Structure 1
Amino acid sequence: MKKPVILLLIWMGLLTRSYSQMVIYVAPDGNDAAAGTAARPLQTLEAALRKVATAKSPEVTIRLRAGRYALGQPVIITPDLLNGHRLEIAAAPNEPVVLSGAAPLRPDWKPWKGPILQASLAKGLTIDQLYANGLPLPMARYPNATPDARVFNGTAADAISPRRVRTWANPAGGYVHALHQGEWGDFHYRITGKSGDSLHLEGGWQNNRPAPMHREHRFVENIFEELDAPGEWFYNADTGTLYCYPPTGMDLNTARFERSVSDGLIRITGTQKAPAEHVTLTGLTFTGTNRTFMLTREPLLRSDWTIYRGGAVLTEGARHCVIRNCTFQYLGGHAVFVSRFNRAITIEHNHIHHIGGNAVAFVGSPDAVRSPAFRYEDKVPVADMDKTPGPKTDNYPAQCTAHDNLIHHIGTIEKQVAGVEISMAMAITVSHNTIYQVPRAGINIGDGCWGGHDIAFNDVFDTVLETGDHGAFNSWGRDRFWLPGISDVNALVEQYPTLPLADVIKPITLRNNRFHCEHGWDIDLDDGSSNYHISNNLCLNGGLKLREGFNRTVTNNILVNNTFHPHVWYAKSEDIFEHNIVTTGYAPIRVPVWGKRVDHNFFIAPGALEQAQARHTDPNSMQGNPQFMDDAAGDFRVKPGSKALAAGFRNFPMDAFGVVSPALRKLAARPAITGIQLLAAGKAGATTVWLGATIKNLETLGEQSASGAPDQQGVLLVSVSPNSLAARSGLEPGDVIRQINGQAVAGVAEMLSLLQTVMWQGHVKATMLHNQQMKEVEIRLK
């Protein structure tokens, strides 16, 4: 008797489930007049969405069959459209589904000049990105794109020189792209015309620290006369003519061409009072959007950033929405943008690559900030300041998550971007993401408003590749208390001691991450960054910097081949730095008072502990070989009996960084591991690769005699790879580096230790023996 009852209950459960969920089918070969069933699918996503509001089931799934869906404008999902329903838009199982912001083109190619072909299109089109077989092609540009160039795929100091401008008949509609003078991001300008050999430009608002363009790192594009390299194209809107220099190996007549027409693809929008809720996007590929660099102009408080609120997917006024198992690729702008009021937005298991802007951004509204200011030099007078702690409104993202996302090759056109950007938000979790090949920070927190973030188990490397003076993890904290002058802040905090934490009301946690920065610091807490707990992080190259701020506790981190960089500290910072392993001696700049406690650390470099104690820090710290398990292979746990354990250091996992999904782990790259160079360099005859050169200690009588050195002090260049940074700096085999920035170097270990303190500057002066003669050169570090 029990068996029939159980079967009846199962049948009723299945029946209930079938009635509780409605599935609407869409296929590229469907018909919007059809019923939307598996047998009779609709053709467009827009038609499927029109059926959601009247669905009888509380849960609706729009199932997209394999194919490419061109969205001429963003699909907007609102509370009225949802009408109380839970909605999932999903690819059918194991079927590739592409949502594209690009419209098809069908050019009929004919010869023009040499290898360049032409085709007649409609006049007056807007073509920002031209895609061939799904990949964007470069506009006609100078200099031509080269994949090994460090910045913008190639730059030239004469990009807009009068001599070159004179060769352009009508450059209107072209663009000038440049780094910031200090390499603090980028600028972009639209060319509106010219007078003689001078351009008329509009733009330059993409950076919140105004400055001239970088003298060298600049290029121009969309200039007809520069159409001279494979893959380049130019569209003349007046005549409707599209010109293309065929990419190597591509037959234009069989290639599939598209032009980007939309800035975004899906917008989930509501309000705080009537939010759009319970929308899930699953298994979709997003591609083909316009570049949006000319729209990047809203300042994010007093950070160095401006922003454009848009992306392939935008959520604003939303709750309990999920973006999972999606791919974002070959986009002109941002991938996912979480703007203003949002709660419980989850972005997980996605692959984001080759996009023009940010991968994931959580950005609140300045109307939630008490007494906001919007430029570095701006300030709110104390008498006029709202001193109430915390946010003024709820118009910001909170309790949101970016988890298990593979992010790489972002910022292909915009350089003030990040794998994850956080500004004016609270309690954001950023965990188990792998982020690499980025022009600036991997993870950036733009201000202290309002803290509570948990940054954990991320693998962030190959960062700050195209800019400088930044971090793999970077933050600013130019909050209400912050002023450019140290003495001014000291006086203000003396009067209002709780003001530094009035915006960052909850601690920000950095834990169990692996960081590697190319041209800056692995962890860079810049102006004002306060209320941080930093522990169990493996910093592989750039060390850790704490600039002016309050209440930072840094414990149990490993700083490989680098050190602790305290810069410009306040009188009552209350900072703590303890139980860390550092390779070389501290590199302080303007630190009159060393915080609350700097002690119980472990130094590797000989003499580093003595230097620290001479500054009256680290009375209980220790020095020696930490006995890592296998530092050359990336295992920086210490062996039992290591003296580092006696200093209070505790091992933490070395195999838990980055993405966890098997599919993403298979795709993810890994950071380069060099081990402790100082220990390796101390071995007789040992060589090290540096800036593309093989170097070693000058240590034999024969080496001394051949170089003309007076003693066996210095660094010998054994070989120099062509086109390497060493070669471009004029270094040659047989040279012996004797001094860096006027400081003598006894060997490789000393030189590398010294260089790590100045890597962020991008260059150093070296005194070396060249052909047995002393010579001074400037060595480029990037």
Structure 2
Amino acid sequence: MLNEQPDQLYVAPWGHDSWPGTLDQPFATLPAAQRAVRARTASLHADLVVNLRTGTYFLAAPFALDADAGDSGENGHQVVYQAYGYGTPRQEEVVVSGGRVITGWHPGEVDGAWQAEVGSLETRQLYVNGRRAPRASLSPGIPGNVTKTETGYVTDSTDPQSWQDPTSIEFVFPWVYPWSEARCRVAEITGDTRSTTITLVQPAFTWARELYTATWAGDEPESPESRRDTQWDGLARPSSAENSVSFLTEPGTFVLDRRTPGRHVLHYRPLPGENPDEAEIIAPVLEKLVVGQGTEGNPLHDVTLRGLTFSHAGWTEPDGPHGFLHFFANTYYSGGELQKVELAEGKAHLTIPTEPRFLPANVEFTAAVRVSLHDNRFTRLGAGAIGFAGPGHDNAIVGNQIEDVSGSAVTVASGTGTRIQQNLIHRIGREYHGSPALWVMDAREVTVAHNEIHDVPYSGIVVTGGSQAARVQIIENLIHHTMTVLADGGGIYLNGRQGTSYADGTLVRGNVIRDTVTPYNFGLYTDYGAAWVTVQGNVVHRSDTPIVLRVTPPLENVAFLDNFWDDHPAEADTPPSGVTLARNKVLPKNGFEEALAADPAGAAILASAGRGTPPLGPSPSPAV
């Protein structure tokens, strides 16, 4: 039987939705093309390809791919949405945007700034000529001598009484735990000639005081400023305050002023040479760009998105009364039961949420099968970029560029057989600094291979075990300049039970991890009861410590084999009973690269890590 040629549809900004969707008479919008797709999927005899011509497609609503509505490929064929000319030198530039172009700029009430009325718009991000403009901020967050109270703070400085639009101000608390950062808005500022009282929103501040309680003991972490051997108080005072016109002093920053309901005002202080009549200024409106959904019985399946740019989506929940109380990786606390966990035989404890919520992704799939994201760009996003959750299998995230994202690049929560390969991931966690670049949670047969990850405020790759976790492979990635803001993480971080044996546990092999920046980190970090993990043939260079062997709960069946690092790990001569160490090499810190290149095995690891090698085939089970 001859291969059928793909069926083609076309979309162009200059088209019309009443046209037939041909090359000469294209549709104008994605929804029109989707209606044509749904009319054809049941009888597909070849792949159905929707070609988007060059331009920006501003979405009025999330692009929803729904299995029940007929968005899946059928009869063994794919539904493909792609940039016109995909894979050729003539590939056109296509942007799928959830934003709104802001116009009507004029000189503002702040000298040297512009302003524009934006109605009831809520946004935490603004993009000027393709650049993320930071929110105007003040550091330290509260001037003067500051005392924490049950409802906020008191300071002997009267300066905060002059801050404009105080209920739009947000305080930022890095290191509430060493790996975590919280955000909480101001409710009220009052005072007299001697002091100022700052009240924070509820229930967020009460919840924060209940959540961020910990006691460290012995060799537990230090803050950057001082040793904390007893009670940890990450809420002692905010490091910075954001989003008041009073803070709008730095060029390139913005503020959203909400003083008049329904008549919000954006203020922007331009960079030298910027002109309001020429600048493209976009604020996100949608919180989802793509939502793919199915069920376990009827998953969304056989859909490919390729060669597209996804931009300008946000997430505004942190502006509300719950704030953003980050806990770990992509989890945060938004109410519910808290649990005190004893560590180190009662010498330390943490408080954890029993049912944390997950920071969302702007492109999100639930119950998906054979959904592929190939050679796309995800940029200028206000939550996470890509998320896969729920029952599903054989999905692929390959060859994408993911950058300038407020949260994580990729989250895979459960599912089987996901491939994350040959992606360039950088400038992640721009707003939510506890976000790892990649997070794999309680999933099976996930392959993370030949990615380059850099410029991340927390860990590069996090793998969290669980009852379903098995056969995760972290293979030949290049990871550098992680842990640039927070601490107690690493280039690669694993915790929990990863399987039931070395054969079905997690394999970490052939990765190059360098420049893990802040103090108290481990380049390659197995933590909190990690079990059934093989760490083989990796390179760790310029971290605070290459690995850690003694954690609480202890490591079980974790093997470190044939690795190269530039420091002798603590207790390597007398490892704990659950750890195997064999054939690892310590090379000198000075001249490490030269010594590594001179070792054939080290040179081979260095040559293979990163995006230059084709995606892997099946990998053999690790052997100890």
> TM-score normalised to the size of structure 1?
0.63
Give a deviation string over 1:144-187, Cα, whole Å, max 9, x none: xxxxxxxxxx9787697733432224311221122123422111
Q: Please tell me whether the aligned partners of residues 170 and 193 of structure 1 are also in contact (alpha carbons under 8 angstroms).
A: no
1:51 aligned counterpart, secondary structure: helix
Measured in 2, the distance between the counterparts of 1:360 and 1:296 equals 20
Task: Report the equivalent of 2:384.
Answer: 334
1:459 to 466, 472, 478: 478
Instruction: State whether structure 2 residue 163 is matched by structure 1 residue 168.
Output: yes
Instruction: State whether structure 2 residue 469 is matched by structure 1 residue 473.
Output: no
Task: Report the equivalent of 1:511.
Answer: 509
Which of the pair is proportionally richer in helix?
1
Q: Structure 1 counterpart of 2:32, which letter?
A: A
1:81 to 47, 63, 70: 70
Task: Report the equivalent of 1:210.
Answer: 212
Cα distance change, pair 455–252 in 1 and its aligned pair in 2 (3 A): same
Q: Please tell me whether the aligned partners of residues 404 and 659 of structure 1 are also in contact (alpha carbons under 8 angstroms).
A: yes
Q: Please tell me whether the aligned partners of residues 115 and 266 of structure 2 are also in contact (alpha carbons under 8 angstroms).
A: yes
Task: Report the equivalent of 2:599.
Answer: 638
Cα distance change, pair 114–157 in 1 and its aligned pair in 2 (3 A): closer
Q: CA deviation at 1:555?
A: 0.8
Task: Report the equivalent of 2:84.
Answer: 92
Instruction: State whether structure 2 residue 58 is matched by structure 1 residue 64.
Output: no
Q: Please tell me whether the aligned partners of residues 309 and 337 of structure 1 are also in contact (alpha carbons under 8 angstroms).
A: no
Cα distance change, pair 635–157 in 1 and its aligned pair in 2 (3 A): farther
Q: Can you give the 5+ residue segments of structure 1 that lack an aligned partner in the other structure?
A: 1-11, 144-153, 364-395, 480-499, 584-603, 606-627, 640-648, 663-782
Instruction: State whether structure 2 residue 29 is matched by structure 1 residue 50.
Output: no
Task: Report the equivalent of 2:112.
Answer: 115
Task: Report the equivalent of 1:243.
Answer: 267
Q: CA deviation at 1:550?
A: 0.6
Q: CA deviation at 1:246?
A: 1.6
> TM-score normalised to the size of structure 2?
0.78
Task: Report the equivalent of 1:526.
Answer: 527
Measured in 2, the distance between the counterparts of 1:127 and 1:433 equals 31
Task: Report the equivalent of 2:100.
Answer: 103
Q: Please tell me whether the aligned partners of residues 72 and 302 of structure 2 are also in contact (alpha carbons under 8 angstroms).
A: no
1:342 aligned counterpart, secondary structure: coil
Measured in 2, the distance between the counterparts of 1:314 and 1:279 equals 13
**Percent pairwise identity:** 22
Task: Report the equivalent of 2:183.
Answer: 188
Alignment of 1:237-316 (within 5 A): 237=258, 238=260, 239-291=263-315, 294=318, 307-308=357-358, 310-316=360-366
Q: Structure 1 counterpart of 2:458, which letter?
A: R
Q: Please tell me whether the aligned partners of residues 544 and 565 of structure 1 are also in contact (alpha carbons under 8 angstroms).
A: no
Cα distance change, pair 66–564 in 1 and its aligned pair in 2 (3 A): farther
Task: Report the equivalent of 1:775.
Answer: none
Measured in 2, the distance between the counterparts of 1:356 and 1:206 equals 21
Task: Report the equivalent of 1:199.
Answer: 199
Measured in 2, the distance between the counterparts of 1:201 and 1:270 equals 37
Q: Which has the higher Rg, Structure 1 or Structure 2?
A: 1
Instruction: State whether structure 2 residue 581 is matched by structure 1 residue 577.
Output: yes
Q: Can you give the 5+ residue segments of structure 2 that lack an aligned partner in the other structure?
A: 86-90, 147-152, 192-196, 214-232, 319-323, 334-338, 342-349, 615-624
Measured in 1, the distance between the counterparts of 2:605 and 2:209 equals 39
Task: Report the equivalent of 2:451.
Answer: 433
Q: Structure 2 counterpart of 1:134, which letter?
A: G
Measured in 2, the distance between the counterparts of 1:530 and 1:290 equals 37
Q: Structure 2 counterpart of 1:509, which letter?
A: L
Q: CA deviation at 1:556?
A: 0.5
Measured in 1, the distance between the counterparts of 2:119 and 2:53 equals 35
Q: Please tell me whether the aligned partners of residues 406 and 430 of structure 2 are also in contact (alpha carbons under 8 angstroms).
A: yes
Measured in 1, the distance between the counterparts of 2:410 and 2:360 equals 11
Q: CA deviation at 1:22?
A: 2.2
Q: CA deviation at 1:532?
A: 0.6
Q: Please tell me whether the aligned partners of residues 536 and 557 of structure 1 are also in contact (alpha carbons under 8 angstroms).
A: yes
Q: CA deviation at 1:653?
A: 3.3
Q: CA deviation at 1:415?
A: 1.5
Q: CA deviation at 1:563?
A: 2.7
Task: Report the equivalent of 1:779.
Answer: none
Cα distance change, pair 192–87 in 1 and its aligned pair in 2 (3 A): farther
Measured in 2, the distance between the counterparts of 1:252 and 1:507 equals 56
Q: Please tell me whether the aligned partners of residues 433 and 458 of structure 1 are also in contact (alpha carbons under 8 angstroms).
A: yes
2:430 to 399, 408, 412: 412
2:606 to 642, 645, 654: 654
Give a deviation string over 1:692-748, Cα, whole Å, max 9, x none: xxxxxxxxxxxxxxxxxxxxxxxxxxxxxxxxxxxxxxxxxxxxxxxxxxxxxxxxx
Task: Report the equivalent of 2:548.
Answer: 545
Task: Report the equivalent of 1:125.
Answer: 121
Q: Please tell me whether the aligned partners of residues 494 and 526 of structure 2 are also in contact (alpha carbons under 8 angstroms).
A: yes
Q: Structure 2 counterpart of 1:175, which letter?
A: E
Cα distance change, pair 83–347 in 1 and its aligned pair in 2 (3 A): closer
Instruction: State whether structure 2 residue 255 is matched by structure 1 residue 234.
Output: yes
Q: Please tell me whether the aligned partners of residues 108 and 267 of structure 2 are also in contact (alpha carbons under 8 angstroms).
A: no
2:239 aligned counterpart, secondary structure: strand
Give a deviation string over 1:300-321, Cα, whole Å, max 9, x none: 9999795535323211110011
Give a deviation string over 1:66-85, Cα, whole Å, max 9, x none: 00111233211011232654
1:49 aligned counterpart, secondary structure: helix
Q: Structure 2 counterpart of 1:341, which letter?
A: P
Cα distance change, pair 568–425 in 1 and its aligned pair in 2 (3 A): farther
Measured in 1, the distance between the counterparts of 2:488 and 2:211 equals 14
Measured in 2, the distance between the counterparts of 1:418 and 1:207 equals 24
Q: Please tell me whether the aligned partners of residues 187 and 207 of structure 1 are also in contact (alpha carbons under 8 angstroms).
A: no
Measured in 2, the distance between the counterparts of 1:442 and 1:188 equals 22
1:335 aligned counterpart, secondary structure: strand
Measured in 2, the distance between the counterparts of 1:471 and 1:217 equals 25
Measured in 2, the distance between the counterparts of 1:265 and 1:192 equals 31
Instruction: State whether structure 2 residue 417 is matched by structure 1 residue 352.
Output: no
1:190 aligned counterpart, secondary structure: strand
Higher normalized contact order (CA 8 Å, seq sep 6+, divided by chain length): 2
Give a deviation string over 1:126-155, Cα, whole Å, max 9, x none: 232222222222223213xxxxxxxxxx97
Measured in 2, the distance between the counterparts of 1:217 and 1:127 equals 22
Cα distance change, pair 157–576 in 1 and its aligned pair in 2 (3 A): farther
Q: CA deviation at 1:281?
A: 0.6
Q: Please tell me whether the aligned partners of residues 433 and 459 of structure 1 are also in contact (alpha carbons under 8 angstroms).
A: yes
Q: Structure 2 counterpart of 1:200, which letter?
A: L
Aligned residues: 529
Task: Report the equivalent of 1:222.
Answer: 243
1:443 to 457, 461, 469: 461
1:655 aligned counterpart, secondary structure: helix
2:33 aligned counterpart, secondary structure: helix
Q: CA deviation at 1:635?
A: 3.4
Cα distance change, pair 161–439 in 1 and its aligned pair in 2 (3 A): farther
